[in-house]
Amino acid sequence: MSVQSIARRLTAPDIRARKGGEPIVSLTAYHAHTARLIDPHVDFMLVGDSLGMVMHGMETTVPVTVEMMILQGQAVMRGSSRALVVVDLPFGSYEGSPQQAFATASRVLKETGAGAVKLEGGRRMAETVRFLADRGVPVMGHVGLTPQAINTLGSFKALGRDEASAALILDDARAIAEAGAFSIVLEAISEPLARQITQEVAPPTIGIGGSSACDGQILVLEDMLGLSDRVPRFVKKFADIGPAIGAAVESYASEVRARAFPGPEHVYAPKKG
């Protein structure tokens, strides 16, 4: 019998228990290799449907499919062992009814092994959040700017900057908190509103364009690494690896053209004897 102790992965209840405590650290991950790199540093990683835009060059997240989310969710699970993995339910796969949402969420959890799903929407999704939570599916909510609604919103601009719209977003957050969401992403809303929601709702809030007062923060990994061309105001670039990749590929190209690569140390000599 192995005496090796296997570190337990963080769970949705672990994240839920962090309300008001040490800030929750999270990033998106779509691949096994990036999941491996960030796993020691984050509490949860989100397989976000932003992968449609970041990995596939789509204009919006609307065309992303359940199959795409499952494929990348499996990759992220293979690359990580410690952090909770949360997988986004893509547009059109859950809004029809609580039953549709349960069918999609249970498939995602079974086929990826992830520990939770995320879905977008406030009051209109509260019944669904309750239906899933009552049936063993941990749900992370997402209110404020909900990118899957781009065709009704018209643009990716910040919301909740006037009293009427702030009141609606507060009601959205309250509704899914009461329905049993274990955590709520607050995206691109006014700072005082994010602060107020964090004070008022029981589950931890995760800000992305929210407030430093949120219970945690999330960013798209490629955005904070400097790999994305255009980023929203709420992104801080913690590195600028885009130019480093360009320089490395330029050196590779010139060495290949000069027949300087591969060198003697990169090729195989015949075996002696």
Q: Which residues bind ligand KIV (CB under 6 A)?
A: 28, 46, 48-50, 88, 142, 185, 187, 208, 218, 220
Q: Residue 93's CB: how many other CB atoms inside 10 A? A: 22
- Between 196 and 205, whose beta carbon lies closer to ligand KIV? 205
88 annotated among ligand-binding-site residues: yes
Structure tokens given for 187: 């995206």
How far apart are CB 3 and ligand KIV at their closest, in Å?
A: 39
Q: Which of 111, 169, 162 is nearest to 141 (CA)?
A: 169
Residue 2 in marked binding region? no
Amino acid (1-letter code) at residue 2? S
Is 215 labelled a binding residue?
no
- Is 191 marked as binding a ligand? no
255 labeled part of a ligand binding site: no
> Which residue's Cβ has the minimum distance to ligand KIV?
48
Take residue 99 and report the two structure tokens written for it.
């039953």
Q: Which is nearer to ligand KIV, 48 or 122 (CB)?
A: 48
The values of phi and psi at residue 159, to 5°, are -125, 170
CB of 84 to ligand KIV, least distance (A): 14
User: Least CB distance from residue 68 to ligand KIV, whole Å?
Assistant: 12
Residue 188 three-state SS:
coil
CB of 102: closest distance to ligand KIV in angstroms?
21
Catalytic: which of 187, 222, 255, 265? Answer: 187
Output 119 or 166, the one with its CB closest to ligand KIV.
Answer: 119
Pairing of strands 205-208, 183-187: parallel
Q: How far is CA 129 from CA 3, 137, 259, in A?
A: 40, 9, 60
Angstrom distance (rounded) from CA 103 to CA 68 = 16
Pick between residue 9 and residue 142 the one whose CB is nearest to ligand KIV. Answer: 142
Residue 156 in tokens: 């990716």
- Would you say 141 and 183 are in contact if contact means Cβ atoms under 8 Å apart? yes
| Number of Cβ atoms within 10 Å of the Cβ of 67 | 10
On the CB side of 82, how many CA atoms lie within 13 Å of its CA? Answer: 13
Round to whole Å and give the CA distance between 172 and 126: 8
CB of 61 to ligand KIV, least distance (A): 6
Task: State the Cα–Cα distance between residues 189 and 207, nearest whole angstrom.
Answer: 9
Q: Considering the complex, state which of residue 46 and residue 132 has its C-beta at the smaller distance from ligand KIV.
A: 46
Instruction: List the beta bridge partners of residue 25.
Output: 217
200 catalytic, yes or no? Answer: no
**Residues with catalytic function:** 187
Residues at the binding site for Mg(2+) are 49, 88, 120
Binding site listing: 49-50, 88, 118, 120
Indicate the annotated binding residues for 3-methyl-2-oxobutanoate. 49-50, 88, 118
